[in-house]
A and B are shown apart, each in its own frame.
Chain A
Amino acid sequence: MLKIEGLKANIDNKDILKGLNLEIKPGEVHAIMGPNGSGKSTLSNVLSGKKGYEISGKVTFEGKNLLDLEIEERAHKGIFLAFQYPLEIPGVNTNIFLKSSLNAIKKSRGEKELDAIEFLKLVKQKALDLKFDEKILSRQLNVGFSGGEKKKNEILQMSILNPKLSILDETDSGLDIDALKIVSEGVNALRSKKSSFLIITHYQRLLDYIKPDFVHVLINGKIIKSGKSELALELEKKGYENFN
């Protein structure tokens, strides 16, 4: 589904990613763990198309060159980034925004767009499935949301947009244990043979709730070790230092 070969990214003359290789197949859950400054967020930004990076290497998504696509085209193809810090957008109603998003994606795929009633029905069901209070959706996008509400909102958006590849950028940061459970259950409910996940995290904690198929250790812009989910436990014990 996603194949990254020799990916390098540079911002303000600073090399952040220094030749990264990774392959994710449909239905797989991969976790990338790494210390601060290792390039975790850069990887998620580069994959979702954020501007400002100088990029080399090759990234294909379902066989197509991903790096040539605009941000929204990547979303149309089925890539979703759950932000580490979801932005507050004053004056933009969450429901209206989400409906525009979903319909933009549907339109790009030649599918029938949803009308207001169909959309509200969908949202209600998704919110119920994820045990989220749908009231937050009638508020302005993330404005005045608590850290937990923002992250829940990301997961709800993810479930509504139904992506093929979801990238979770430190979704666990700033969450208390209850919120972490709810968010994880939400992610687990979305796991299927078709949808893949790339979970980027600092701590092993999240992986207690979302069990990955593969764990990769990212240090200084490169994946230095890959393994099964047990690698996360080993990492937690030893710390990043000993992996250098």
Chain B
Amino acid sequence: MEEQLKTDFDKVVKSLKLSEENIKLRKKNLNEFIKNGFPNKRKEEWKFSDLNQIINSNIKELTFFNTDSKPSYIEETLYIDNFVHNKIVFINSYISNIDFSHEKKDRIEIIENLDLIKNNNQTNTLVSLNSAFLSNYVKIIIKENYSLNKPLIIYNITNKKLDSTTVNLRTDITLEKNSSLKLINLSNDDSANNFININQNFKIDKDAILKNYKIDSQDNLNIKYFFNNIDLSYNSFAETFVFSTGSRFIKNEINCNLNDKYSSAFINGIINLDKSKHHEIKTNINHLAENTKSYQLIKSVLDDKSKGVYQGKIFVDSQAQKTDGYQLSKALLLNDNTEFDAKPELEIYADDVKCSHGSTSGNLDENSIFYLMSRGLNYKQSRELLINGFLLDVVEKITDIEIKNFIKSIMGVKE
């Protein structure tokens, strides 16, 4: 793999006009990745999801440079028409469209200069891989006091023209003081057996609000790693909702830093799997200041031979008195061949905090099925009602009504 990495790295650098400084930074990241490779189960954070093994058994030949240059076409049929929205469209490794036509031009700044990228997380080898090979990048700055009129949808599209087996994408979003953004990340895959590595970084200034809905609902055989870093300032708010069901493998890693007082982070997630899919949600919530709040609710439904993992960590710094941290995981295992692993971690260095966690897993309740069937519903209908009911309260946590209804329609959940 090392040879391929080096060859493709030279091709990437050659295809882009980069500053010397940027090339140096990329080389450092490349070497970091060469040294560590894809993480395997010997690493504590990857013990339930051996990415190295998953990649080896699903991707024949790893390549890192996509020769398909910026596409001229826009696949408009892939856009959703449920509601009017702004969009950023990634097709394979490239940005094909950035459209903020519903907003005031001077309130949103769009930066695409790769030279401006700085490293934010040196200890993460997959972020290093991303930084080394990134060929397109966008940074959005929402200006002070501006709330977008319409949601932003980031489309992550892959199709058959993709000719490398890895894709590295990155978006940075800064929400200036008292601004707000509703964001949907929507995956659409018409490719198979690729590794898709998406890095998103959010900086949320004082009193700003981010709502981020991450939807991977379409059946596909790709392997994905989503890394989100969220930095929160005074009295800011971040809501993340994960709907994880489509891909062969996904690890959603969400790192939240509650850097200042009265900031809060909500993470709600659904893992709904069949076949031999394997999805993980891994969170790191860092309470670094007083009076910060975090809330996590993750529900999983596993069928066939699928596997779900939730690792939720709450760290409370000695400064972070009056922290309120909560996490709950519930899993429904529909048959004996499924596996669910939960690892809650609480690391608390302050003494005046309220932190709790819980985890349950179990089967569908036979008595409930009997009750529903005795009213004339067949087994399949009864099972669907119970599963929908099980997942409903996570969906109800979505604070935006328009997007909640959209997600309900994707999930086929009624009321």
Question: Which residues of A lie under 8 Å from residue B377 when comparing CB positions?
Answer: 72, 100-101, 104
Say which one of B102-110, B259-267, B275-283, B383-391 lies at the interface with A: B383-391
**Cβ A157 vs Cβ B375 within 8 A:** yes
Return the CB mask of A71-112 against B: 1 if under 8 Å, else 0.
110111000110100110111110011101110110010000
Say which one of A45-53, A126-134, A171-179 lies at the interface with B: A45-53
Give the distance in Å from the alpha carbon of A102 to the alpha carbon of B366 in the complex: 22
Give min CB distance, B136 to chain A, whole Å: 41
Question: Which residues of B lie under 8 Å from residue A90 when comparing CB positions?
Answer: 389-390, 392-393
**Cβ A89 vs Cβ B381 within 8 A:** no
Return the CB mask of A45-73 against B: 1 if under 8 Å, else 0.
00011110000000000000000001110
**Cβ B371 vs Cβ A87 within 8 A:** yes
Give min CB distance, B33 to chain A, whole Å: 44
The interface centre, meaning the residue of B366, B373, B391 with most chain A CB atoms within 10 A of its CB, is: B373
Q: Which residue of A lies closest to B387 (CB)?
A: A91
Q: Which of B401-415 contact A (CB under 8 A)?
A: 414-415
Give min CB distance, A191 to chain B, whole Å: 21
Known contacts A49-B374, A104-B381; A89 and B414 CB within 8 A of each other:
no
Give min CB distance, B145 to chain A, whole Å: 39
Give the distance in Å from the alpha carbon of A87 to the alpha carbon of B385 in the complex: 14
Give the distance in Å from the alpha carbon of A22 to the alpha carbon of B393 in the complex: 46
Q: Which residue of B lies closest to A77 (CB)?
A: B376
Give the distance in Å from the alpha carbon of A70 to the alpha carbon of B370 in the complex: 11
Question: Which residues of B lie under 8 Å from residue A105 when comparing CB positions?
Answer: 376
Question: Which residues of B lie under 8 Å from residue A86 when comparing CB positions?
Answer: 371
Known contacts A87-B367, A90-B393; A71 and B388 CB within 8 A of each other:
no
Q: Which residue of B lies closest to A90 (CB)?
A: B389
**Cβ B373 vs Cβ A72 within 8 A:** yes
Known contacts A50-B370, A93-B415, A100-B381; A161 and B375 CB within 8 A of each other:
yes
> Counting CB contacts under 8 A, is B368 at the interface?
yes
Q: Which residue of B lies closest to A140 (CB)?
A: B389
> Counting CB contacts under 8 A, is B378 at the interface?
yes
Total B residues in contact with A, Cβ cutoff 8 Å:
25
Question: Which residues of A lie under 8 Å from residue B390 when comparing CB positions?
Answer: 90-91
Question: Which residues of A lie under 8 Å from residue B368 when comparing CB positions?
Answer: 87, 89
Known contacts A104-B381, A140-B389; A89 and B371 CB within 8 A of each other:
yes
Known contacts A72-B378, A91-B388; A97 and B372 CB within 8 A of each other:
yes
Give min CB distance, A67 to chain B, whole Å: 15
**Cβ A89 vs Cβ B374 within 8 A:** no
Question: Which residues of A lie under 8 Å from residue B381 when comparing CB positions?
Answer: 100, 104
Q: Which of B246-262 contact A (CB under 8 A)?
A: none
Give min CB distance, A113 to chain B, whole Å: 12
Return the CB mask of A161-190 against B: 1 if under 8 Å, else 0.
100000000000000000000000000000
**Cβ B370 vs Cβ A71 within 8 A:** yes
Give min CB distance, B130 to chain A, whole Å: 38
Give min CB distance, A24 to chain B, whole Å: 18
Known contacts A75-B376, A104-B378; A92 and B370 CB within 8 A of each other:
no
Q: Which residue of B lies closest to A141 (CB)?
A: B389
Give the distance in Å from the alpha carbon of A97 to the alpha carbon of B366 in the complex: 17
Q: Which residue of A lies closest to B366 (CB)?
A: A51
Known contacts A90-B389, A92-B389, A104-B381; A75 and B374 CB within 8 A of each other:
yes
Question: Which residues of B lie under 8 Å from residue A161 when comparing CB positions?
Answer: 375-376
Q: Which residue of B lies closest to A93 (CB)?
A: B415
The interface centre, meaning the residue of B371, B381, B392 with most chain A CB atoms within 10 A of its CB, is: B371
Known contacts A91-B388, A91-B391; A75 and B371 CB within 8 A of each other:
no
Q: Which residue of A lies closest to B368 (CB)?
A: A87
Q: 21 A-B Cβ contacts within 8 A?
A: A70-B373, A72-B373, A72-B378, A72-B379, A74-B374, A75-B375, A83-B371, A86-B371, A87-B368, A87-B371, A91-B391, A92-B388, A93-B414, A93-B415, A96-B415, A100-B381, A101-B375, A104-B376, A104-B377, A104-B378, A108-B376
Closest 5 CB pairs of A and B: A91-B389, A91-B392, A75-B376, A71-B373, A101-B375
Interface residues in chain B, defined as those with a beta carbon under 8 Å from any beta carbon in chain A: 365-368, 370-379, 381, 385-386, 388-393, 414-415
12 further interface pairs, Cβ-Cβ under 8 Å (given A75-B375, A87-B367, A89-B368): A70-B373, A72-B377, A72-B378, A75-B374, A83-B371, A87-B365, A89-B386, A91-B392, A92-B385, A92-B388, A96-B414, A104-B376
